[in-house]
Structure 1
Amino acid sequence: MKKVLVLAEARDGQLRNVSLEALAAASTLADGGEVTAAVFGSNAAELAATLGQHGASTVYTADHSALAQYTPDAYTQALVQLIELANPDAVVLGHTAIGRDVAPRVAARLGYGLVSDVTSLEAGEVFVRPIYAGKAIQQRKFVDGKTFVTIRPNNIAIGAADASKTATVVPVELEIKDLRSIVKEVVRKTSGKVDLSEAKVIISGGRGVKSAEGFNTLNELADVLGAAVGASRGACDADYCDYSMQIGQTGKVVTPDLYIACGISGAIQHLAGMSSSKVIVAINKDPEAPIFQVADYGIVGDLFEVVPLLTAEFKKVLV
């Protein structure tokens, strides 16, 4: 049995789904031991109830002005102090922008091991993760020592909430000093719709969309399905959309339940970011496009004819 600490992330006052997935992973890793959680920010205490219902027995909360927005220095100092207080055998985070940044910093500082981008946990603490842009699967196991683990979003099932469970809330006073950077303003370039990294359905466009206006067709389908809209690097390079929408080796890695690729040829760099999607639908005029080799369903046709038809049919069923 182990004691496992989860660093939960919140966005706009709401817990991110990947934090609940991290709790599920922590429960498996603890193997009957204690699962605890930590959350930063002014409304940290308000999130403790949800964390408790999903398995955290204790929730450490830190309300500090330096933690209102993520900065590497502040979060590193805060997490180091929390780990020294809680003394966990393992720390689990989401494989998000924050998790990817802070986990190796703290692991190196404390001498912990680190396994990142984990997609599943097997018996005996075997961590499974894709490598070489998804071409191979690696299994890793730590023989000894304390560990950091980051979990890829949308891969580990969230446990059912138990309203009868409550967590003990422990407010923590942290000393954060000598910051080299502070966040004075946050300017969001995303659409404000569904977060790409946690979306269950993604409609993605490539160079075949032809223009920024061409994405309107994809947005209409996304609105019906409650989906996020993504793009290939080619579409971003062509100024059809912002780089915050880019999916691929140099963009976001996503694993939705449904990925609809519209006008995307399927370059290996793009496949590295979405090939783990549970169901892939490809729409392309070129029947020889590489995207069809990874697609579960392929439609050979003009996306500007096919996508509106799909939108109309989904409206009949869902609206």
Structure 2
Amino acid sequence: MSKVLIIAEHLEGKLNPSTARAVSAAVAVQPEAVDVLVLADRVDAIAADAARIAGVSRVLTVARAENAHPLAAVLAPQIAKAAAGYSHVFLPSTTFGKDVAPRVAALLGVAQVSDVMSVEGSHTFTRPIYAGNAIVTVEADPAHAVVATVRTASWPAAASGEHAAPVEPLGLDVALPSHTRFVELKQGKSDRPDLQSAGKVVSGGRGVGSKENFEIIYRLADKIGAAVGASRAAVDAGYVPNELQVGQTGKIIAPELYIAIGISGAIQHLTGIKDAGTIVAINKDAEAPIFEVADIGLVGDLFKLIPELEQALG
């Protein structure tokens, strides 16, 4: 029988929702057990959150000072060691997972499976290629462990509740490299919902016109309690920071509501929102590609339409 080890993603003592989405993918494999591995300097709060995720058999913890920050070079040897006896090792297909998974796969001597969208069998998966224009079915060698990243936009988060899996410390005798060290983490601070896990997202594109004009996007987002995103064109133009970019080279998201304002709809951007529930597009160009995928489209000047929309919202 198969056993899946999920590597928990966390930051500043909080478990990232991507971990619960990876659990959903793991459960689809129909394994004998789904274990979550927490590597941190302080593991208790993170492990407690992981233990409440439905479908988790147990939570394994490795508390070391070296694990205070998610350095791939430091985490990978520990994960490879902990993976002994597991048929699958899953990580979310986030910046964290994309950084760590290739090193783990290399240490285990296997080819990584990236962006798992669905599980067709214990070792058969689908994943996107060509910027999401095609879906390919891949089959991993059952003789070796599967190291895979899970496309979080394609999976719902497993429920969290009264369930409490046992938490067990794991002793790993592994030498850690010293050539990589943590310097600092620079990230945007915001009271708005996290872009990658938000249920509602308002995004602006080149059509917004300037960094100052982007305030209209922030205002609408705050009005409806949404996260803020942007197209690559808006990021490249300096309207917003890089961490807000949505698309093939940005964040892949699946909100229930996605409002695209002043975004033409290049294929690279559409790749990042293909799993969204309802897509609303506002653009003055009636021929913009975004209208081909939008559920609701408004053609007109965004600087007139958005204030009217805000007024209607009350």
2:131 matched residue in structure 1: 133
1:285 matched residue in structure 2: 284
1:81 matched residue in structure 2: 81
1:158 matched residue in structure 2: 157
Structure 1 residue 152: Cα displacement: 1.5
Whole-angstrom distance in 2 between the partners of 1:240 and 1:227: 18
- For the structure 1 residues 124 and 146, does the alpha-carbon distance in structure 2 shift closer, same or farther, using more than 3 Å as the test? closer
Whole-angstrom distance in 2 between the partners of 1:13 and 1:28: 28
2:272 matched residue in structure 1: 273
1:120 matched residue in structure 2: 118
Structure 1 residue 162: Cα displacement: 4.7
Percent of aligned pairs sharing the same letter: 40
Whole-angstrom distance in 2 between the partners of 1:159 and 1:133: 27
Contact 2:82 2:172 in 1 (8 A): no
Structure 1 residue 227: Cα displacement: 1.5
1:36 matched residue in structure 2: 35
Structure 1 residue 32: Cα displacement: 4.6
Alignment deviations for residues 160-183 of structure 1 (CA, whole Å, 9 cap, x no partner): 335243323224355443322211
1:177 matched residue in structure 2: 176
1:17 matched residue in structure 2: 17
Whole-angstrom distance in 2 between the partners of 1:137 and 1:278: 20
Calculate the aligned-residue CA RMSD, in Å.
2.0
Q: Which deviates the most, 177-186 or 5-14?
A: 177-186
SS at match of 1:154: helix
- For the structure 1 residues 27 and 283, does the alpha-carbon distance in structure 2 shift closer, same or farther, using more than 3 Å as the test? same
1:90 matched residue in structure 2: 88
1:239 matched residue in structure 2: 238
- For the structure 1 residues 162 and 32, does the alpha-carbon distance in structure 2 shift closer, same or farther, using more than 3 Å as the test? farther
1:57 matched residue in structure 2: 57
2:247 matched residue in structure 1: 248
Long gaps (5+) in structure 2: none
Alignment deviations for residues 4-37 of structure 1 (CA, whole Å, 9 cap, x no partner): 10001112322111101111221221x2501111
Structure 2 counterpart of 1:131, one-letter code: I
By percentage of residues, which structure has more helix?
Answer: 1
SS at match of 1:70: coil
Contact 1:49 1:167 in 2 (8 A): no
Contact 2:20 2:159 in 1 (8 A): no
SS at match of 1:196: coil
SS at match of 1:179: coil
- For the structure 1 residues 116 and 161, does the alpha-carbon distance in structure 2 shift closer, same or farther, using more than 3 Å as the test? same
Contact 1:114 1:149 in 2 (8 A): yes
Contact 2:201 2:257 in 1 (8 A): yes
Contact 1:45 1:169 in 2 (8 A): no
Whole-angstrom distance in 2 between the partners of 1:264 and 1:147: 38
Structure 1 counterpart of 2:88, one-letter code: A
Q: Which deviates the most, 290-299 or 305-314?
A: 305-314
- For the structure 1 residues 140 and 307, does the alpha-carbon distance in structure 2 shift closer, same or farther, using more than 3 Å as the test? same
Structure 2 counterpart of 1:116, one-letter code: S
Alignment deviations for residues 43-94 of structure 1 (CA, whole Å, 9 cap, x no partner): 322222332232322222122222111222111122122223xx21101110
- For the structure 1 residues 162 and 202, does the alpha-carbon distance in structure 2 shift closer, same or farther, using more than 3 Å as the test? closer
Contact 1:74 1:176 in 2 (8 A): no
Contact 1:153 1:198 in 2 (8 A): no
Q: TM-score, normalised by structure 1?
A: 0.90
Long gaps (5+) in structure 1: none
Q: How many residues align?
A: 312
Whole-angstrom distance in 2 between the partners of 1:106 and 1:32: 21
1:6 matched residue in structure 2: 6
Structure 1 counterpart of 2:234, one-letter code: A
